[in-house]
């Protein structure tokens, strides 16, 4: 399973309002529940916040990879958000976050979960990729670039 197969165009979001880590996770939870009826926004939010309490998913360099398991998730779900303004995410380097890659996986998806997280981390750890993502000026540019980078790193 690759990121490209679980990241449809409608889940790559440009210029998302930030405000705070909590607001970003609330926004995503509401958004994903509207798109996938089997998911409940409060349950998704609760799982993402619970994961954040274990330690921030802010991996540094303005990037966060919030992720959680959900019993109502039948297959992995990804979403990529480029925030309108960076927010404090309690990242390991203390820098605010403006690029957020979110993963939801089924309760039992151990190997898949780790493989997908690894793919995201590989892509987002590249300084050129981050700079290019930040320069995009539209949802279409963002979508085309993130998909190109996913293909590039999965080849």
Q: If you count them, how many residues does the chain have?
A: 155
Q: Is 63 exposed, middle or buried (0-12, 13-18, 19+ CB in 10 A)?
A: buried
- Residue 67 designated active-site: yes
**Distance of alpha carbon 83 from alpha carbon 54, whole angstroms:** 23
Among residues 67, 72, 113, 153, which one is catalytic? 67
Contacting residues for 103 by C-beta, under 8 A, at least 6 apart:
65, 66, 67, 68, 76, 77, 78, 113, 116, 117, 120
Catalytically active residues, by annotation: 67
């Amino acid at each position: 399973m690759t990121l490209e197969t679980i990241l449809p165009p409608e889940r790559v979001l440009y210029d998302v309002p930030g405000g705070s880590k909590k607001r970003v996770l609330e926004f995503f939870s509401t958004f994903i529940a509207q798109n996938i009826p089997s998911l409940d926004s409060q349950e998704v939010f609760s799982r993402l916040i619970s994961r954040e309490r274990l330690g921030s998913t802010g991996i540094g360099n303005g990037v966060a990879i919030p992720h959680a398991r959900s019993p109502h998730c039948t297959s992995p779900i990804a979403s990529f958000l480029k925030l309108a303004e960076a927010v404090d995410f309690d990242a390991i380097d203390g820098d605010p976050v403006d690029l957020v890659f979110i993963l939801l996986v089924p309760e039992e998806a151990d190997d898949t979960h780790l493989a997908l997280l690894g793919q995201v981390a590989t892509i987002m750890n590249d300084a050129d990729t981050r700079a290019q993502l930040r320069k995009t000026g539209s949802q279409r540019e963002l979508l085309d670039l993130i998909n190109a980078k996913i293909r590039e790193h999965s080849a």
